Amino acid sequence: MNNLVILPLLIPLLTGVLLIFFRKQIRVQRYVTTVSLLLLMAVTIVLIHQVSVEGIQTLNLGGWEPPYGIVLVADMFALLLVLATAIVTFCCVLYGFRTIGEEREKHYLYTFIHFMIVGIMGSFLTGDLFNLFVFFEVMLLSSYILISLGGEKSQLRESLKYVVINIVSSMFFLVAIGYLYAITGTLNFADLSVRIAETGQDGLITTVAIFLLLVFAIKAALLMFFWLPGAYVVPPMAISAMFAALLTKVGIYSIFRTFTLIFYHETAITHELIGWLGVATMVLGGIGAVAYWDLRRILAYNVIIAVGFIMIGLAVFTEGALAGSIYYLIHDMIVKALLFLLGGVMIGLTGTNQLREMSGMIRNHALLGWMFFLAAFALAGVPPLSGFIGKLLTLQGAIDEGFYVMAATGLITSLMVLYSVMKIFMNGFWGENQLSVEDEKMSTKGLLFPCAILAILSVGLGVGVEWVNVYVLQAAEVLNNPQVYIDAVLQN
């Protein structure tokens, strides 16, 4: 057992509680938040090194042995997402210091950001299905506050839809948990895997698996993404960037964890279904991204396309394809946050979301323009940037296993992604400059630094693939071989 495993939960939890007592001391809140997130990154890097050297790390809370007690499990897949979450949150918070405004900051903004991070980290690290539900709810309750904080009419309208949809999906989640416990007598991931492997994944268990897939698909915006575009365009851009980079990834993680560790016996049914849901999601998301001229909605639909693409690796279900999906998942967290933050600067300068009302910004803001250009190419998968590696591994795995339609859809929607983000670049930065520096609605001072961190990471994920891929392959190995996870949890 390793007590460090609980620190990615304890650090944001204790920080969030502490910040409640400094409601009006904005400078103190900012300082404590910055230190907390840096400490979170440091702890996660230490854990990643330990897992790389010693294998999966676990912690049995209260001393109760699994499958009876609560267990936290830190494998490479979970920790890579924990680290990406900490980095993205750090950059979004730095950006938010200058853009969100003190009125929101005084109403416990940073407290709820930390509580949301607790839910996200807990979802990645939990070793049982019920606590996955609990951490989902912690994350969602905090996101309800963050999406509505400010009380604008559009925020309240979209938050109402967001809350209702997630309450319904949470009810389905509980029903699925109840059925699965009634059938197997356990909710521990490792124990579920053992029991279902022993008894066989019959029709009833497969039905429950598809029911769980429905729940996670709503959370991940897999096909059922009708709630996402509106919900992601109404909060301040720093919050939208966190939502775009993190919230759907928890649903994606849950699908990968359950359908590689527990429900992997009837791949012709479950994984095939996941693959075709991914295809439909890519196509519909691509249509939305190409059709709109609203900058925030274009970026929101690009979130949806990525969800569908990542599912190809799980549908193919080989170690190489899984590695590609993991690589692309990490890339997408970094680059989506970057694009949303850069888009926020563009909107802040011009005072509008509409591309037709922007042009020529590169004359006064060259760094902003070329950073957006870099992020756009990374998102589309242009070599040697980060998106290329994940797409290459995923599509190569799909073609090798005969999933030609999925591979072709991935390639076609990559072109739709490129068109949609280049539409933003060409309309926003090229052409006649409509705004003088004096007419700009805000200053870019301090806003490009967090964006530069994310841009450098995107380039690093691309050119440093040999170094990063070592850890990604370790993560894919555990997903492809459930016994490694089972032994770490039940024989620790």
pLDDT tens across 134-173, in order?
A: 999 999 999 999 998 876 788 888 888 888 998 999 999 9
271 domain-assigned: yes
- Tell me the H-state helices in 263-294: 270-291
pLDDT tens across 4-59, in order?
A: 999 999 999 999 999 999 988 999 999 999 999 999 999 999 999 999 999 999 99
pLDDT tens across 51-98, in order?
A: 999 999 999 988 788 888 899 999 999 999 999 999 999 999 999 998
1 domain-assigned: no
329 domain-assigned: yes
314 domain-assigned: yes
> Which amino acid makes up residue 331?
H
Q: Which domain holds residue 35?
A: 6-490
The answer to whether 58 touches 74, Cβ cutoff 8 Å, is yes
Q: Which two tokens stand for residue 24?
A: 């009006």
316 domain-assigned: yes
336 domain-assigned: yes
State how far the Cα of 474 lies from the Cα of 153, in Å rounded to an integer: 47
Please name the residue that has the structure tokens 């509680």. 17
pLDDT tens across 256-280, in order?
A: 999 999 999 999 999 999 999 999 9
174 domain-assigned: yes
Question: Which residues touch 21 (CB under 8 Å, ≥6 apart)?
Answer: none
Structure confidence at residue 439 as a pLDDT band (50, 70, 90): low
pLDDT tens across 327-357, in order?
A: 999 999 999 999 999 999 999 988 888 888 8
pLDDT tens across 217-255, in order?
A: 999 999 888 888 888 888 899 999 999 999 999 999 999
Structure confidence at residue 438 as a pLDDT band (50, 70, 90): low
Specify the number of domains making up the chain: 1
- pLDDT above 90 covers what percent of the chain? 77
Question: Which residues touch 463 (CB under 8 Å, ≥6 apart)?
Answer: 384
347 domain-assigned: yes
